Structure 1
Amino acid sequence: MAKFIYKDVLSQIQKEERKVALSTDNIIEECYKMIGYLQELLRQLKMDVLKHGFAKENEEIDFFKRIKPQILGKIVYYNKVSRIETTCPVSDGHLYLNYYSNQMKKLNKEFKDHILISDFYRYYKSGRVDKDNIYFRLGNINFYDGLNSFVFEIDTHFSTYYDYKTARIIANENLYFYLNSKICNNAQEGPSTVNLILDNSDIHWTDSKSALIELIYALYASASVSNGRISLTKLSAIAQELFNVQLGDIHHAFHRMKDRAGDRASFLNHLKNSLEQYMDKES
């Protein structure tokens, strides 16, 4: 098969995520578009695997341990987010907060009951590789290990069973952060989304909220943080935690900016002008 490079596949997905996040009007539309894109990407990879197979054992292991689970995990994640958001109360307040809190409780229960207790979860999180040739090679499914019943329905030519287990771990981790950001955005006090080393109790954002949202989206669109390997939700949560500010639904706020007349990037232009004036002053 064609050699797929892990970082290239991830970069491709992240580029599409930025494109979709910046072009859609709401999170539900964003989820549907990303699910469609990821399903097509996975379909293309499956066709290639079925046609060409793998040249080497380590290529096969890398695909089912790192590449396929990232794609499948994102599909599961976006599907769960879309289901959560389509049944979410439309107004803010306690009902809104309780809804996301209850979703977090369900996620934590699922994690404790089905993921945390498994030997595979401990293996995967510890970074071990000694059983990779068992977990991530085709044809090695041991039906005597008491596996979930869906194992009998998987395509044994394109799944090792544990690639799905890995994808589920990835999806749950992403969903945990998404729900945590929603809860913290709608609570007066709540668990910290970011563990900051410094005491930021006296740090506050003193410009407008729209200005900070503009800055967040600029950093996200330019892939300036972690080479773009960070979600918009996570980047927003970090900014809100750092500057002690609640921004609410930044997605809607951003699309209002897109439609505003005149200078749509007014804050960024203000930063540029301020910096140039400071440079002139210091020279």
Structure 2
Amino acid sequence: MLSEFTDKLYVGLEEDIEIIGLKHENSTKKIAEILTTVQETLGKLRHFILESDFSDIQEEVFFFKHVKPKFYSKYIYFINVYNFTLQRPLGSDDAQREHISAELAGLKRFFDHNNAFYQYYRSDANHLDELYFSRRPFRICGELDDCEHDGSYNTSHDYKLSKVIANEKYQDYLRHETARLNGGPVEMVTPVDAVFRWTSSKTDAVELIYSLIACGVLNNGNAGVKPFVDWFQKAFQIDLGNYYHKYSDMCNRKKDRTTFLDKMNAALIRRMDEKDDLNGVKVFPRRFNSSSRSV
């Protein structure tokens, strides 16, 4: 019930953000509308949790470690980008580079100051999860600024984790802006390491890869299988081994040769059918500001 609701809510938020991005050319208006949308979504998430609560401590920890920060980090990230856009110098490229350097220095101080927790997060450790990500009475906050005071909906570290995720993404955004100013190649804003992992089977991955190659949707149909496999393995942190052998096995299937594609097709149609069935939750939009944390 919890994962079903939060998955739908997050996909809906991603879709809304994409639509807003296509609608606005003005970046400030775009980010302002995105922030309002994210706030409304956070309100729905909070309402759902306070109404339904958790089945056990494991579900509670999972929510405050993996689910809430995924949503809340978007709010913090877009606040950062919004403020950066408003404060960005209108002068020379050098002035803009100086401004970006100051922002990056501030982020470095944040990561240095929170190095122990950052290493805990990056190493996928879990031995302190119940201390950090449950609402038990004994709660430790390194700083008052990082500890929200609504004990029914916050833990000692879910807000700090949201800041870590948001600041990683903001750091990449600033580096992207620096590369653009320097006229060099602009790398992807989102790093491929430790962001997305392929968690389905290797055979499913190979089926998807060969399908994309066959459709000619990569580099105008000029992408080779091996270079794309190499990129896919790095991007999704998976070793596909002898991928051609897996492809040969798929070709030799007597029936259901495209099992994964058929499953994806059915899943997408089901999600489309369910898209508008979230509701019953009314949220009253609020104004946002850079210090707002109690959504």
Report the TM-score, using the length of structure 2 for normalisation: 0.58
2: CA distance between counterparts of 1:81 and 1:107? 13
Mapped to 1, the partners of 2:48 and 2:171 lie a distance apart of 33
Q: Does 1:163 align with 2:162?
A: no
Query: Per-residue deviation at 1:147?
Result: 2.4
2:179 paired residue among 184, 197, 221: 184
TM-score by length of 1: 0.60
Q: What is the rounded CA distance, in whole Å, between the counterparts of 2:8 and 2:76 in structure 1?
A: 21
Partner of residue 175 from structure 1, selected from 167, 170, 176: 170
Q: Structure 2: which 5+ residue stretches go unaligned? A: 193-218, 220-231, 236-295
Which residue is 1:127 aligned to?
124
In the alignment, what sits opposite 2:247? Answer: none
Q: Deviations over 1:138-196 (max 9, x none)?
A: 125434xx621236652110001211111011011010010000011001569976999
Deviation beyond 3 Å, 4+ runs, structure 1: 1-10, 150-153, 188-196
Give 1:65's aligned residue.
Answer: 65
Secondary structure of the residue aligned to 2:134 is coil
Alignment-derived partner of residue 56 in structure 2: 56
Cα distance between partner residues in 2 of 1:151 and 1:174:
19
Once the two structures are superposed, residues 107-126 of structure 1 have per-residue CA deviations (whole angstroms, 9 ceiling, x without a partner) of 222222x222x2x2221111
| Aligned mate of 2:142, from 142, 147, 155 | 147
Counterpart CA distance in 1 for 2:156 and 2:128 is 14
Deviations 1:195-234 (A, max 9, x none): 99xxxxxxxxxxxxxxxxxx9xxxxxxxxxx9xx9xxxxx
User: For residue 46 of structure 1, what is the aligned residue in structure 2?
Assistant: 46
The residue type paired with residue 25 of structure 1 is: E
User: Is the Cα contact below 8 Å between 1:65 and 1:136 reproduced in 2?
Assistant: yes
Whether 1:111 aligns to 2:121 is: no
Q: Name the counterpart of 1:99.
A: 99
Q: Aligned-pair distance for 1:69?
A: 0.5
Runs of at least 5 residues in structure 1 that lack an aligned partner in the other structure: 197-214, 216-225, 230-283
Could you tell me whether the CA contact under 8 Å between 2:6 and 2:67 is conserved in 1? yes
Q: SS where residue 50 of structure 1 aligns?
A: helix
CA gap 1:191/1:106 in 2 versus in 1, 3 angstroms:
farther
Cα pair 1:104 1:176 within 8 Å, conserved: yes
Work out the CA distance in 2 between the residues paired with 1:86 and 1:93. 16
- Give yes or no for contact 2:146–2:159 (8 Å, CA) kept in 1: no
* 1:5 CA drift (Å): 5.9
1:76 aligns with 2:79: no
Cα RMSD over matched residues?
3.1
Query: What SS does the corresponding residue of 1:186 show, helix, strand or coil?
Result: helix
Alpha-carbon distance in 1 for matches of 2:149, 2:87: 30
Matched to 1:115, the amino acid is N
Q: What SS does structure 2 have at the residue aligned with 1:110?
A: helix
TM-aligned CA distance change 1:132 to 1:53, over 3 Å: same
